[in-house]
Amino acid sequence: MNILKTLMATAAMAAGLTGAALADAKDKIKVGFVYVGPIGDFGWSYEHNEGRLAVEEALGDKVETTYVESVPEGPDAERVIRQMAQSGHDLIFTTSFGYMNPTNKVAAQFPDVKFEHATGFKRETPNVSTYGARFYEGRSVIGHIAGHMTKTNKIGYIASFPIPEVVRGINSAYLAASAVNPDVEFKIIWVSTWFDPGKEADAANALIEQGVDVIMQHTDSPAAMTIAEEKGIFAFGQASDMAQFGPNARLSSIIDDWAPYYIERSQAVLDGTWAEKDTWHGIKEGMVEIGSFSDKIPAEVQASAQAIADGIVAGTVHSFTGPVNKQDGSAWLAEGETADDGTLLGMNFYVEGIDGELPN
């Protein structure tokens, strides 16, 4: 009886799988994108939209893409995502952390539509994939440069929300900066927004007032870069190169390149081979790019920064390599130990040496 049941189940599954695979191959697909900011933010949403344009170029008339920009994280996001699912999209990219729950909720109601959520970790149904980039690898490189370039030993960090993604970046940058400059001090401002140029500019001014001479940011607009240029200090491009906003201020940048991933996943839907997965790519795969080095950086620092990037690609360097303690002094990584992805994905603590309390 049991054997019969198993056999029947296997047969049914096999039939189902072949059926699904055959039915899933498509001639033309519709791909939707949901952005948290305007595509003209010259940062985060801008790069996602560049990825969308790359899909259009690569797949030509086999694909139709649509997007909705400036969608707030929250109930509005669910409405927008549902509308996309209802209007015949085959694949929907939701490109901000705060879309995690709305994406999963809508995905459960539309099993035939594929969903891809950026920087999240919830995949509640088999039609949800998650993807993210190891921005923290880039933070190691620019943290290294910042540690060398600061004269006041004060580095400013404009942070958005205390999610693991952002906390990881702060920790990674701090470890790299303090490795080359033990006196370095991080001043962190949480602005509680991804995109508000006015507030980001105010935060940059407040940091400069406190003696900061290098600014990093984890927000989406080039406002801080503009202020850095005006006040004659240094900053790094975030998500996009941002060179045009700070020809003198910009030292380097972390650039997001989503195009290869977006093309690959759209192609997978066309072929009917799309399957749920979690992707976390870094400098090696090209999802994280380090922008060109400014000639204001001394040649030997450029070389050592490049060595870190090359080491990460080769696998010989890891941004989180022990000994590292947590902020409260408790041991986290032993000598030579590197952090596992699980801990990194859920990172909710500062490493030792960072002042201030992490908002919860």
Give the residue with the Cβ less far from another protein, 31 or 203: 203
Taking the complex as a whole, the smallest distance from the CB of residue 104 to another protein amounts, in Å, to: 24
Give the residue with the Cβ less far from another protein, 226 or 319: 226
Kind of pairing between the strands at 91-94 and 278-281: unpaired
The secondary element (H helix, E strand) that includes residue 137 is: helix 135-149
d(CA 137, CA 317): 10
Taking the complex as a whole, the smallest distance from the CB of residue 169 to another protein amounts, in Å, to: 16
Taking the complex as a whole, the smallest distance from the CB of residue 220 to another protein amounts, in Å, to: 9
DSSP 338: B
Give the residue with the Cβ less far from another protein, 208 or 305: 208
Taking the complex as a whole, the smallest distance from the CB of residue 284 to another protein amounts, in Å, to: 30
Taking the complex as a whole, the smallest distance from the CB of residue 237 to another protein amounts, in Å, to: 12
d(CA 295, CA 331): 39
Provide the strand spans (E) within 121-198.
128-133, 154-159, 185-190
Rounded to 5°, angle at Cα 12 from 11 and 17: 100
C-beta separation of 241 from 267 below 8 A: no
Q: Sheet holding 288-290: strands in order across?
A: 185-190, 154-159, 214-217, 234-239, 250-256, 288-290
Burial class from Cβ neighbours inside 10 Å (0-12, 13-18, 19+) for residue 20 reads exposed
Give the residue with the Cβ less far from another protein, 162 or 286: 162
- Which stretches of the chain bind another protein, using CB under 8 A? 37-42, 70, 156, 162, 187-193, 195-199, 201-203, 205-207, 209-212, 221-223, 226-227, 229-230, 244-245, 355-357, 359-360
Burial class from Cβ neighbours inside 10 Å (0-12, 13-18, 19+) for residue 25 reads exposed
The secondary element (H helix, E strand) that includes residue 16 is: helix 2-24
Give the residue with the Cβ less far from another protein, 69 or 285: 69
Taking the complex as a whole, the smallest distance from the CB of residue 321 to another protein amounts, in Å, to: 27
Give the residue with the Cβ less far from another protein, 35 or 293: 35
Taking the complex as a whole, the smallest distance from the CB of residue 223 to another protein amounts, in Å, to: 5
Give the residue with the Cβ less far from another protein, 42 or 136: 42
For residue 38, is the peptide bond before it cis, meaning its omega torsion is within 30 degrees of 0?
Answer: no
Taking the complex as a whole, the smallest distance from the CB of residue 307 to another protein amounts, in Å, to: 31
d(CA 203, CA 159): 10
- Structure token digits, residue 241: 């190169």
